[in-house]
A and B are shown apart, each in its own frame.
Chain A
């Protein structure tokens, strides 16, 4: 009997020590404040989106796809975003063609080849700093260097354009996003486990073979994601374009050929939004600008979706 009552006592003690959840006002308050912060952020985004959509809705309801395929005019009833869309996509392609190979190459060198010394670390730190430089500074650089360069090598287009064209804009924005591409690619390369490299060296592979066959395939999804993010950044930039002479008013691209489009006057979606929001005609500001923003958002969303799809395809889980 004695041992039995002891057993009961033990159970009672254990029960007492296991029960009794304590109420913690501090913890609850913290959790609630976190929830509030989330809701406020969401509310801002939803308001913004609702404002844009309510402004843009009449445009798409009245004109449909015509708004996207029409060029820029001074008449709010016929003005469309086509010219800006073409300009933005053209710039993005040039950015991709320039920034991706340069950025990836620089990242591979820094991560896989460069000796781990103070110079390398200095360079890495400065690339990070470059990513934080205001975009207007790149605009000034573009105006001082790339616009002249493009003009100098005979791709400046007509005298009135003088190098202030898509080529110069693409090069400028490529330089702008280059640090982002290098940083994200570096991080993707660093995320490849060293055991993979050791395995490659262990069977007698050279550094090039290890990078080519093992490191790059493993890092590809991360590199790709970083590049798409950088493109999205370039797609939304306005300030540098204004500095290097994007057309903010009406111009007619007409049925120009590819070369003329590259070298002639151009505009980009964010610039279109900006110039419309300054127009005297309230329709531009209240309906057309939000509609252009919506087109911009849809394009960015599509680009991000494409990135996710591509990454999933490359990132085959072995």
Chain B
């Protein structure tokens, strides 16, 4: 596990071919490793989101890759959460939201007329900013998703598996019938992660999953994500740039642009490997933001 992570995130590339005749070159933040073993699962092209007359997100194009953690960062109002909520059609719940452009999920148009958003959300789970367990028992929280999806195997095994993957099983195995609200904030959020993965999704979307948690609980969630990415692809929105740097493989930096009409709209500035973004970003606006020269 440790070596896996080290392999997937090389920061330095030493290119020493012939010391006697060729100058030594060390490039930081660039991986030669091709993305071939991490195929794209989401292909976003020219995504625009409007809330009524408000142009929330403008012309976003990016790819989310399998078994990677992709972080969406940027200042408030940059549209990062809006983009995240396009991935499981959560924006459908907002009547005035209008999505245009294309999001292809394994090549299928996510916003095609044949696509049922309810089915989409069974494939693409979500963890929210504030831990929001159902006011039910720990067991029922995890079992609800599979139950409504018509799961027919052993529910007990499934609940145990999901809770184990969410690193919560040992803490709750003796009180599965107890209230989910009796857990600490960090435990509740891990319960929500267990609930999200209980439906065996392909992707887990996380909307600032640690922003309501204390530092220790935050680190536990971050550590958990590293384990989860072996089975799932993760997209995380975070306000915490260091968190993005710690957990993600790729980072998309969004910012707020002033339209000619004076309206503010979210745009994607740069999307690259996290190691590149945090050592040698390609765009001045990215650098100004992550080094704190932008307010």
Q: Do chains A and B touch in the complex (CB under 8 A)?
A: yes
Report which A residues bind B (CB closer than 8 A): 115-116, 193, 195-206, 209, 213-214, 217-218, 317-318
B contact residues, range: 20 to 34
Q: State whether B196 touches A203 (Cβ < 8 A).
A: yes
**Does B174 sit within 8 A of A, measured CB to CB?**
no
Question: Residues of B contacting A196 with CB < 8 Å?
Answer: 132, 134-135
**How close is B64's CB to chain A, nearest CB, in angstroms?**
18
Chain B residue with the shortest CB-CB distance to A116:
B95
Question: Residues of B contacting A193 with CB < 8 Å?
Answer: 132
Q: State whether A218 touches B135 (Cβ < 8 A).
A: yes
**Does B149 sit within 8 A of A, measured CB to CB?**
yes
Interface of A is mostly: helix
Q: State whether A318 touches B128 (Cβ < 8 A).
A: no
Stretch at the interface among B16-24, B70-78, B100-108, B119-127: B119-127
Q: State whether A199 touches B134 (Cβ < 8 A).
A: yes
| A-B pairs with beta carbons under 8 Å apart, 12 shown | A195-B130, A198-B128, A201-B93, A201-B121, A203-B198, A204-B145, A205-B144, A213-B148, A214-B135, A317-B179, A318-B137, A318-B182
**Does B220 sit within 8 A of A, measured CB to CB?**
no
Question: Residues of A contacting B133 with CB < 8 Å?
Answer: 199
- Please measure, in the bound complex, the distance between the C-alpha atom of A202 and the C-alpha atom of B123, giving whole angstroms: 10
Chain B residue with the shortest CB-CB distance to A210:
B148
- Please measure, in the bound complex, the distance between the C-alpha atom of A200 and the C-alpha atom of B117, giving whole angstroms: 13
**How close is A9's CB to chain B, nearest CB, in angstroms?**
41
Among A115, A205, A214, A218, point to the contact of B95 (Cβ < 8 A).
Answer: A115
Question: Residues of A contacting B93 with CB < 8 Å?
Answer: 197-198, 201
Instruction: Give 3 nearest A-B pairs by CB, closest first.
Output: A203-B145, A204-B122, A195-B132
Among A116, A203, A318, point to the contact of B136 (Cβ < 8 A).
Answer: A318
Report which B residues bind A (CB closer than 8 A): 88, 90, 93, 95, 118-122, 125-128, 130, 132-137, 144-145, 148-149, 179-182, 192, 195-196, 198-199
Question: Residues of A contacting B179 with CB < 8 Å?
Answer: 317-318
- Please measure, in the bound complex, the distance between the C-alpha atom of A200 and the C-alpha atom of B140, giving whole angstroms: 12
Question: Residues of A contacting B95 with CB < 8 Å?
Answer: 115-116
Q: State whether A214 touches B128 (Cβ < 8 A).
A: no
Q: State whether A202 touches B180 (Cβ < 8 A).
A: no
Q: State whether A317 touches B121 (Cβ < 8 A).
A: no
Q: State whether A204 touches B132 (Cβ < 8 A).
A: no
- Please measure, in the bound complex, the distance between the C-alpha atom of A198 and the C-alpha atom of B120, giving whole angstroms: 14
Given contacts A199-B128, A318-B180, contact A205 B148 (CB under 8 A): yes
Q: State whether B121 touches A202 (Cβ < 8 A).
A: yes
Question: Residues of B contacting A200 with CB < 8 Å?
Answer: 134, 144
Question: Residues of B contacting A195 with CB < 8 Å?
Answer: 128, 130, 132
Q: State whether A204 touches B135 (Cβ < 8 A).
A: no
Among B132, B145, B149, point to the contact of A198 (Cβ < 8 A).
Answer: B132
**How close is A44's CB to chain B, nearest CB, in angstroms?**
41
Question: Residues of A contacting B90 with CB < 8 Å?
Answer: 198, 201-202
Question: Residues of B contacting A205 with CB < 8 Å?
Answer: 118, 144-145, 148
Question: Residues of B contacting A202 with CB < 8 Å?
Answer: 88, 90, 121, 125-128, 196
**How close is B235's CB to chain A, nearest CB, in angstroms?**
14
Given contacts A195-B128, A318-B180, contact A204 B119 (CB under 8 A): yes
- Please measure, in the bound complex, the distance between the C-alpha atom of A193 and the C-alpha atom of B199, giving whole angstroms: 23
Q: Which of A195, A203, A205, A317 has the most CB of B within 10 A?
A: A203
Question: Residues of A contacting B182 with CB < 8 Å?
Answer: 318
- Please measure, in the bound complex, the distance between the C-alpha atom of A209 and the C-alpha atom of B128, giving whole angstroms: 19
Known contacts A204-B199, A213-B148; 4 further A-B pairs (Cβ under 8 A): A195-B130, A196-B134, A198-B126, A318-B135
Question: Residues of A contacting B119 with CB < 8 Å?
Answer: 204
Question: Residues of A contacting B121 with CB < 8 Å?
Answer: 201-204
Given contacts A116-B95, A204-B149, A209-B148, contact A199 B132 (CB under 8 A): yes
